[in-house]
Copies of this chain bind each other. A is one copy, B any other.
Amino acid sequence: VSGPSRSVPSDESQRESPRVEAALGRLRSAGERVTPARLAVLRVVDAADVADEHLTAEQIGARVAAHEPAVHRATVYRTLTSLTGTGVLSHVHLGGTATVYHLAHPARAVPANADETGTATHGHAHVQCSSCGRVLDAPAGVLDDVARRLRDDLGFELDTSHAALLGTCAECAQG
């Protein structure tokens, strides 16, 4: 009765996106377990990534709850922490106080990016409007010169994609 293996595993096993697939692979190679909760979180984050959205832990929790009511909020927090630790996810600190997550891009991995917290790179810097909260991607490399200068002047190794810069977007600027 344990379920005859039909051709279509009718489950919730909608074919995973290649990115989620890759993330799962990295998870397994890291010796971590693949669970429904983790899968749900990865799907939500991936979908948001594709839509260029930046979600906070709370928002991710809400969306996960919508798809998988069985997954508890606390688990989402724990999952975000562990997946970030494994390097499957990474986060960016936005202006105000929010931290948003996204799939880590191991491909475009940055040279010296051995941040203990698994804090990684989205590949590019973000700027956020303090007025409307919108988050924009900064042109690639905008911070390269700054990084070089900080390294030369202070010996400080800048992580260009870990924190967003604040300011006012075009729309809010002139209304």
Q: Which residues of A come within 8 Å of B, CB atoms?
A: 93, 95-97, 99, 115-117, 119, 127, 129-131, 136, 138-139, 142-143, 145-147, 149-150, 153-159, 162-170, 173
Report yes or no: A136 in contact with B117, Cβ–Cβ below 8 A. no
Report yes or no: B167 in contact with A162, Cβ–Cβ below 8 A. yes
Report yes or no: A156 in contact with B127, Cβ–Cβ below 8 A. yes
Report yes or no: A167 in contact with B173, Cβ–Cβ below 8 A. no
Copies in the complex: 2
Report yes or no: A130 in contact with B156, Cβ–Cβ below 8 A. no
Report yes or no: A131 in contact with B158, Cβ–Cβ below 8 A. no
Chain B residue contacts of A95, Cβ below 8 A: 93, 162-163
Report yes or no: A119 in contact with B130, Cβ–Cβ below 8 A. yes
Shortest A144–chain B CB gap in Å is: 10
Chain B residue contacts of A165, Cβ below 8 A: 143, 146, 150, 158, 163, 165
Shortest A104–chain B CB gap in Å is: 16
Chain B residue contacts of A143, Cβ below 8 A: 146, 165
